[in-house]
Structure 1
Amino acid sequence: MEEFLLTIVGGGAVGLATAREFSRHIPPEKILVLERHTHLGQEQSGRSSEVVHSGLYDEGLKLKLCLRGNSLLRSFCHDYQVPLKMEGKLVVAKDKEEDKILEQLLHKATQNNVPEIIKIDDSKKINELEPNIKAYSALFSETTGVIDSMAYLQALLQQTENNGVYVLLGTNVTDIKPKQDGFTITLQQRDETYDIQTKAVINAAGLSADELARNINQNNLFETVPVKGLYAVAKNKGPLQIKRSVYPLPWSFEQEGRTFYDLGVHLTPTVAGNEIRIGPAVKVASSKKDYQHDISLNFFYERIVGYFPNIRREDLREGHVGILAEERNTHDFIIEPDKNFNNCIHLIGIESPGLTASLAIGEYIWNNCNPLI
């Protein structure tokens, strides 16, 4: 039976970034990353808006790790030639009433030490930045950008494997049994089933992290709510051309006894610059595998035409669908040891801004809740 010091379950951005961090401190050949899909980016890491967030909306651990992660991610992209555009973001208000909410956002950002946020009260100055956007006022976040998330995942994989870490794709965890000196993990690859031994586990399983936590310790009460984000797409040219992300005001809604916070249906140009992602339209998914695009294009049109007046219904086509892993009982990240097994760390509710925070999450685990100590 093969033995490892650390096994990370989940090979998304967070799992790979955490493996990379630990490989700088312990023998990398003693680290194993397990990813159930045969290709990277099949869940949250590859199905987002690809926005590098500034921390404008966040609180608690999300805020701390987003701010730190933003800086680390920009450095990583520079060092490893990952496509990244830091053109900033506009959050727009349509009238005086919405402008009051912008002021509240600005006040919160200032209190939280979110860098380089300014308010623009002149619509002409807004149009100097984005001629095709209609707004009464706006916040401009200079430290927001757009990343090629698949290129980022590939760079993380390459760096992690180059360091000597073992990464197994297409590998399902079917069972984890706590032992006195660690864990026995049962793995399945196609028709082959076998066990490995590991001293410590980091549960970075994303949408399945709550299920894995209960497998390890049936007393864990984490519950992931799968929240579906649906997108439309338009060509980024002519009267629709934008240079940077444009967001309406955030809002909230109640569903299934929980409050959900939504950043609104926004516009995000791809890193390549040829298309605009429009979304997400947010709803609770019927399951963790509910990737059906079941919202009409007219919904997207109605949400954006107020601040993007040149858009026509016929300019839109269906885009991708992603599912976020939100924890039912909190809106913050949960990164903590298992209550019975200190050598297991659970990462629960690692949704947005998880991509931005990914490198910081690995750093945080090493420094604050290291399962090997």
Structure 2
Amino acid sequence: MSDIDCLIIGAGVIGLACAAQMARAGNSVMLVEQERRIGEHTSSRNSEVIHAGIYYPPGSLKARLCVEGRDLLYAWCQAHGVNHRRIGKLLVAVTQAEVPALEALESNARHSGVDSLEVVSQARLRELEPAVAGVAALFSPQTGIIDSHGYMESLLAEAQRHGADLALDTRVERLAPGAQGWEVEGVSCAERFSIRARTVINAAGLFASQLAARVEGLAPGHVPATHWCQGRYFGYSGRSPFSHLVYPMPEANTAGLGVHATLDLGGQVRFGPDVAWTETLDYRVDESLREDFSHAIRRYFPAIDGQRLTVGYSGIRPKLSLPGQPAADFNIQGPEAHGLPGLVNLYGIESPGLTASLAIALHVLRLLERTT
């Protein structure tokens, strides 16, 4: 049994950001991942959007960490050569009935510290995006796109540069508080291992609640249920009809922001995600969804050619809310919340988790520094 300062479980974008932050702070860090590659699940299966911070309730963790993380992320990309573009986003009211909700979003964003939104008239919308139908819009100049894989590789490189180690194909099976930290047991590349860590960060994403349920001494009341919500994407062959990201108004009482149009760094359009609750890790996309996607997209892009929609990919979000409920906030529990020294559990880190990742890592560091 060896000793380290910090064990981080889960090498998605949150675990990687925490590894970079903890290692830079002078800690010996071991990052473990049950898959054979980093970022295998939610972190590599999303829209790759850098969010401005428009949608989240003012004062919530999502709102605060998105705005802070957005600025940190742009600076990180510049400093580390991560491919990205501050491309801008149009949030569109398709009908007059949607304008009050659009105005409410602008107010919500302002109260969260996002004061860069521009009100766009119907005429101006036609100039910016001639293919988009709408009566009004908001333009978000701080919204961008990022190479999520390149970003994760840069986080890993930074963590390793400061001495962090990465163990893939490694599953933690037991976590128990001990006299000098945490005693951890599991299986790595089919061999049993044990390690002692002064602090532990549960950044297991989709599996965070399952892992927390195996923590000895952690009261069940501190382990929320994680629900899996799948989002499917379709590509669009040929030249892009848009030069910005285009989002419809969010649908009420749903888990997503509507089937929106994003651009990748090569200039190709993809549409998604939709919302499908699931209990299995199934990433297949059925071609029969094309008609449903065409119908959703046609509201704001009337000239869509459904035959140009091509089956894309899907991702699964860890959600703390149930179907029909408002989206839950991030749930980041440090020692002060659950009473176990040196342990941080991160639950429900869905969108805007990628944007907020560096701010989340700083938040976790502060929680541990305050209690250890």
In structure 2, the partner of 1:226 is: 228
In structure 1, the partner of 2:3 is: 3
1:60-139 matches, within 5 Å, as: 60-121=60-121, 123-139=122-138
In structure 2, the partner of 1:34 is: 32
- How far apart in 2 are the matches of 1:355 and 1:208? 17
SS at match of 1:325: strand
SS at match of 1:328: coil
SS at match of 1:193: strand
Structure 1, 60-69 or 110-119: larger mean CA deviation? 110-119
Shift of 1:221: 3.1
- How far apart in 2 are the matches of 1:39 and 1:57? 32
In structure 2, the partner of 1:257 is: none
Answering whether residue 291 of structure 2 is matched by residue 298 of structure 1, we say yes
Q: CA-to-partner distance for each residue in 1:101-134, whole Å, 9 max, x for gaps? A: 111111211222213111112x221122222212
Answering whether residue 310 of structure 2 is matched by residue 317 of structure 1, we say yes
- How far apart in 2 are the matches of 1:370 and 1:11? 22
SS at match of 1:261: coil
In structure 1, the partner of 2:208 is: 209
- How far apart in 2 are the matches of 1:82 and 1:130? 28
Shift of 1:32: 0.7
Shift of 1:372: 6.2
- How far apart in 2 are the matches of 1:54 and 1:180? 44
Shift of 1:342: 2.3
In structure 1, the partner of 2:346 is: 347
- How far apart in 2 are the matches of 1:39 and 1:318? 24
Contact 1:236–1:242 (Cα < 8 Å) also in 2 = no
One-letter code aligned to 2:304: I
Answering whether residue 47 of structure 2 is matched by residue 55 of structure 1, we say no
Q: CA-to-partner distance for each residue in 1:82-109, whole Å, 9 max, x for gaps? A: 1101111001111211112111111211
One-letter code aligned to 1:341: L
- How far apart in 1 are the matches of 2:84 and 2:209? 32
SS at match of 1:317: strand
Structure 1, 97-106 or 323-332: larger mean CA deviation? 323-332
- How far apart in 2 are the matches of 1:103 and 1:215? 45
Contact 1:337–1:371 (Cα < 8 Å) also in 2 = no
Contact 1:250–1:261 (Cα < 8 Å) also in 2 = no
Match of 1:280 among 253, 273, 287: 273
The runs of 4+ residues in structure 1 deviating greater than 4 Å are none
- How far apart in 2 are the matches of 1:195 and 1:89? 48
Shift of 1:369: 4.3
One-letter code aligned to 2:302: P
One-letter code aligned to 2:54: L
One-letter code aligned to 1:266: H
Structure 1, 167-176 or 343-352: larger mean CA deviation? 167-176
One-letter code aligned to 1:147: I
Answering whether residue 259 of structure 2 is matched by residue 265 of structure 1, we say yes
Size of the aligned set, in residue pairs, is 360
In structure 2, the partner of 1:144 is: 143
Where structure 1 has 5 or more consecutive residues not aligned to the other structure, the ranges are: 254-259
- How far apart in 1 are the matches of 2:97 and 2:48? 30
Contact 1:236–1:269 (Cα < 8 Å) also in 2 = no
In structure 1, the partner of 2:243 is: 243
Q: CA-to-partner distance for each residue in 1:153-183, whole Å, 9 max, x for gaps? A: 1111111111111111221112222222211
Q: CA-to-partner distance for each residue in 1:186-210, whole Å, 9 max, x for gaps? A: 1312321111111110111000100
SS at match of 2:106: helix
One-letter code aligned to 1:277: R
- How far apart in 1 are the matches of 2:262 and 2:69? 20
- How far apart in 2 are the matches of 1:24 and 1:303? 45
- How far apart in 2 are the matches of 1:360 and 1:3? 27
Shift of 1:285: 1.1
TM-score between both structures, scaled by the size of structure 2? 0.93
In structure 2, the partner of 1:168 is: 167
Where structure 2 has 5 or more consecutive residues not aligned to the other structure, the ranges are: none
- How far apart in 1 are the matches of 2:181 and 2:238? 52
Q: CA-to-partner distance for each residue in 1:49-89, whole Å, 9 max, x for gaps? A: 00100110012000000000000000011111111011110
- How far apart in 2 are the matches of 1:372 and 1:98? 47
In structure 2, the partner of 1:22 is: 22
Change (3 A) 1:236 1:142: farther
SS at match of 2:275: strand
Shift of 1:310: 2.1
